[in-house]
Structure formats: structure tokens, C-alpha cells
A and B are shown apart, each in its own frame.
Chain A
Amino acid sequence: MSTHSRTARSGDRVAGALAYGVVGLGLAFLAIPLAITCLMAFDARTFLGPLPPPALSLHWFERLASQADILSSLRTSLVLAVLTTILSVSIGTAAAVGLARGDFPGKGILTSAFLSPLIVPPVVIGFGLLLFLSKAGITNGMARLLLGHVIVTAPYCIRTGLASLLGADRRLTDAAMILGATERQAFWSITIPLMKTGIITGAIFAFAISMDDVSISLFLSDPSATTLPVTLVSNMRAAFDLTIAAAAVILMAVTVVLIVVLDRLVGFDNVVGQGLFRS
């Protein structure tokens, strides 16, 4: 009897240690490439040499800043990300309110249709859009990119908006109206504040995804409008050097800033807990 329980207990201990080991390995797998990238971005050598770098310098960043195509594509990416965020949040919030509060035939199908870009591979969306927009005669690069980015980011805003509304009682709107608020006043003073978490989370996802997207932008970019990730990929093909590591560090810094903002505004736990992964 006692031998049994002792074996069982040591089995538990092994399993516990194993679990810690797997978690540690996972974290290392995620963090080590980031650490190496950061380190290499500050490498003082002018070539790609073995780690660790003998000295540190900012010359890769200077080189990055001196490349006109990088700077112009960074500007394109930022403008695009801001416009995408505004459009996706507006569409996503309106759609979420309609889907959560409305009662109409075909609601389930509409919900699935709205969320389908989360499932369809971005390459398919990008290629499809390229064909469609060419046929439709939309040739402006920025407009094409904006359409593509809104299509892939709006579902995130709808999803986070829906999640924040599901917890909110529909009777709160009734309560506002019986207290004298019109539908419009109730919407702005009750519904929108209740959706705050979902709206901010959706906005940050939309911005981050737009900044980061390669697969759709690759199809839709043209010489007049190219995003930063697309420029980096094509530069890397032409001549592989560490400016891409410097660019990666900048993108990481933007992400860190976004996460800090998110945490301050709504609490990071809220986002990961309910924003996206709980229906």
C-alpha cells in the first residue's frame, strides 16, 4: 500500500518537473530569437559575424534611417495602420452592436461571414483581392492596401466588440431609456462605455496586425505604396544585412508601447482573458 502511494507520489513529482521543463523550453523558444535579434541589431561589425558581437553600436539604425525606401514605407505603414484602425473599429463596433442586439433572420450566417477572414488564409484573401480590385478598376495602392487590411482586421474588432457586449445586460439600455435618454443618448452614454474594453482591444489588434502584415500587403503593394514589412522582405532578398534586425527592434518597441498602453487603459488580463479568446 505504502509502496504504491510512494511510486504514485514520485510519479507526480516527475510529471510536475516535466511540466515545468516544457513550459521553460517553450518560453526559451519564444524569447531567445528575440534576444538574439536585439543583440545583433546593436552589432558594431559591418558584416554578419558569430555571436556575441565584440562591440556595440547604433550604425545599423543609422543605415536604416538613411534608406529612403525604408522611411517612406514606414510612413506608409503608419498611415495605413492608423486608417485601418479607425475604419475597422467603426465597422467592428457597429457590426458587434447589430449582431449582439439585433434579432433578424440570417443572423448566424452573417456572424460567420463577418468572422470568416479569421479562418481564410491571408494569401487567399490577398490574391482574391488583387484579382477583384483589378477587375473593379481600383488601382490606387493605398486604397487597395486599406481595403485588404480592413478585411483582415475588422473581424478582430467585431469579435472583441461582441465579447464585451455579451457580458453587458441589454436591460441597461432599457433602463437608460426609461430614465429619459433617447436611443442615441443611451448608445453613447451606456453601450459604448460598456464596450470600452472590446473597442480598445480591437483597435490595438487592428493596429498591430496592420503594421505586421506581409502576406496580404505583398499582393496589394505597388511602387507608390509599399508597407514596411514588404520593403524589409524584398531588401532581405536583395542583400541580407542587419538593418532588418534594427527594423525588427523598432517594431518590437512599438508592440511593447502598445501593450503598455493596453495594460494602462483596460488591463492586459482583460484582453487575453475575454477580449479574444472567450466568446
Chain B
Amino acid sequence: MISAVEFQSVGKSFGETVALDNISFSVKPGETIALLGPSGCGKTTILRLIAGFERPDSGTITIGGKSMAGLKPYERNVGLLFQHYALFPHMTVEQNIGYGLRHRGHAAREIPARVAEMLDLVRLTGFGHRRPNELSGGQQQRVALARALATHPSLLLLDEPLSALDAKLRHELRTELKDVLAAVGSTAIVVTHDQEEAMSLGERIFVMSRGEIMQSGKPDDVYWRPKSRFVADFMGRTNWIRGSVVATDGSVSTFRSEFGWEFPVAASRDGAAMKDVCVRPESVEISSGTGRAGAIGMAGRVEDVVTLGAFRHVSVELSSGDRIISACANRPDISFEAGQEITISMPPQACVLFA
């Protein structure tokens, strides 16, 4: 099968700064990829290279099996949804959506029908004669999406598609964006620094740092089985527990923390070298009382509770002396308060070993 996009050992520097360091990856047709990383990690450079705004210093980029070397942006059939939409302010919504059709050589009489179809797709029928400054942020974003998709691009690039919107609208549009992408069936690459956006939109996530792809995989893989400390920290909150592996039995090892707390963790091939365990707060289950302490549980005392709406972050000091944070659903029938005696437990597969 021909890849929708393929990077082979692509490098790019800006002066002294290495933006991309020998990157290789391929994207399957119809797949949605999220490039996730902090600012300056090279994700935007990848997007600009695919669009043709920059040229690689080394390596080759192919789209649909065709080399892009020397091709200008207008010679590539790529759609791009800009971070701040980049709608043409002097044109109406219809003219904005029709711009690509006019310049990609569509017959003039076909354009109005296609524009109407796109307006319908993003639920903006009747807004065709408005100017961009007469639309809300969410509406502008939908016009930008319609404009990018109007010419049937073989590949859609989305640059921080939701970051300019407020939290509630972001939630709504994320679902809508996913539906539209599924309906069109086009290959898409989403660039974002927001791990929630990456996990919800991407079928696969490439986590990037300093011009390199640190890890790629399905959202759950990357989230639950990070291969590096950077990925573990970047994908969400983590508890780090320092100690060593004391025994291994098949797929489960026993880990002993510096304070002497022993608990089962997922085994790792080079178990003896591992000095840290990473466990996400939501994997730390918390129950009141000390009754279940023993084989799988560990007794402790609540130090502090922070309520975050849907969740509570409960800081716990275990009887061993270890400290750990648990994120649990905020329910009206359960409450925790400082000083309360509790028990925590964690499934072994949620505890990942690091060297």
C-alpha cells in the first residue's frame, strides 16, 4: 500500500537551530495522525514541509508515493487549516470557500454547488454572504475547515485547530471536527501541544521533542505505556516512585520503594536496571478505612484534597513514608478530608518501570 505521506530521513535546520533531526515516518491513507509536543519541538516544521512552505535540508518527502522535491505549495494537493483560521478578511464566506476551487481550475459553473455543499457540511448554510469579521470564533473555524476541504485535498493538515477557542466551544468543535474528518475520509495530520486534543483526534500520536519523534502509537499505548520519562510527563500527570525491582515472576515484578513499600508492577525485560516507577494518579484507587490493606493495598493518611469539578486530587502519605497523588471521580456520596485513614491500591499493569 502506498503511504499517504512518507518522510525518509528528513532534516531541517534554521541557522544553528536543528528543527528536525533525521525524521522518518509514514501515514496510511485515511488515517488521522496527531503530532504532539511542546513549542519548538519541530511539529510545525513538519507541517510547513508537507505544505511546501519550507524545503527540507536532507531526506525526501512523498505524498501519495510522489516525491514533493521542488514542488511549490500550489502544486501539491494539500489542505491546511490554520491556527487562527487565516480567512481572507476582504472576501465573503462563499468567496473564501470558493477561492481554492477557482485557483485549482474547477469550472466556474460547478463552484456555487460545491460551495453550498461545503457550507452544508459545516452547518453554515445561509452564512455565505457574511464577512469573516461578522462570524464568531467557532463559525470562522468551520469556514476555514470548509475552505480547506473544498478542493478535495488528498491530505488535510490542521495547525492547532482548537487552541484559539474557549474551553466549552473547543469541546463541541472537537467532536464536530472528528465527525467531519470521518465523513470526508481524508488523511489528516493534526499538530497540537494539547495532549487531550491529540488523544481525541489522532488515531495515532507522534510525541515529539527537540526535532525527534520520541514515541508513536495509539493514544492508549502512548498514555499507559510511555517509553521515556519525557513522554510519561508530557502525556499527563504522573507519580514517580523511586526504588528497585526485588523479584520477578513471569509478567509481574515486585518493586520496593526507597521507603520500603513493596508492590507489584508490570515486568520489564531489563528489570534489574530499573530505578523508577511511573503511575498515573487515576490508576491509584483510594478507599476509606484500613480494612483492605495487605496483599494489594497500602494504608495511608490523606494530606490534602483539591477538587477540580469532575475529579478530586487526593494527596496521600502512605504508612511507609511514600507520597502519592490519587485522582478519583468527584462523587457526592464519597468524601475525603485531611487526616483521614485510607487504603490505596494500583493495578500492576498501570505501574511502568523506568531506568
| A contact set with B: CB distance below 8 Å | 169, 171-172, 174-182, 185, 189-190, 193-194, 196
Contact = CB atoms under 8 A, between A and B. Distances in A.
A176 B72 CA distance: 12
Contacts of B72: 177, 182
A181 B74 contact: yes
B7 to A, nearest CB: 19
Contact of B73 (A169, A177, A194): A177
A190 B151 CA distance: 19
Can you list the 6 inter-chain pairs with the closest CB atoms, starting with the nearest? A179-B100, A180-B103, A180-B104, A177-B73, A175-B86, A171-B86
B28 to A, nearest CB: 22
Interface residues of B, number: 23
Given A171-B82, A180-B103, 8 more contacts: A172-B86, A178-B51, A178-B73, A178-B76, A180-B100, A180-B104, A182-B74, A194-B90
A185 B86 contact: no
B103 A181 contact: yes
A189 B88 CA distance: 10
Interface centre among B84, B100, B147, B151 (most CB of A within 10 A): B100
Interface-centre pick from B73, B79, B86, B151 (highest chain A CB count, 10 A): B73
B103 A175 contact: no
Contacts of A177: 52-53, 72-74
B51 to A, nearest CB: 5
A209 B79 CA distance: 47
Do most interface residues of chain A lie in helix, strand or loop, or is the interface mixed? helix
B79 A178 contact: yes
Contacts of B84: 169, 171
B344 interface: no
A193 B82 contact: no
Contacts of B74: 177-182
B191 to A, nearest CB: 14
Contacts of B99: 176, 179, 181, 189
Contacts of B36: none
B86 A169 contact: yes
Most A Cβ at <10 Å: residue of B76, B79, B84, B90: B90
B250 interface: no
A198 B310 CA distance: 52
Interface string B17-52: 000000000000000000000000000000000011
Contact of B89 (A178, A180, A181, A194): A194
A193 B90 contact: yes
Nearest to B100: A179
23 contacts: A169-B86, A171-B82, A174-B53, A175-B82, A175-B86, A176-B99, A176-B103, A177-B52, A177-B74, A178-B51, A178-B73, A178-B74, A179-B99, A179-B100, A179-B151, A180-B74, A180-B100, A180-B104, A180-B151, A181-B74, A181-B99, A181-B103, A182-B74
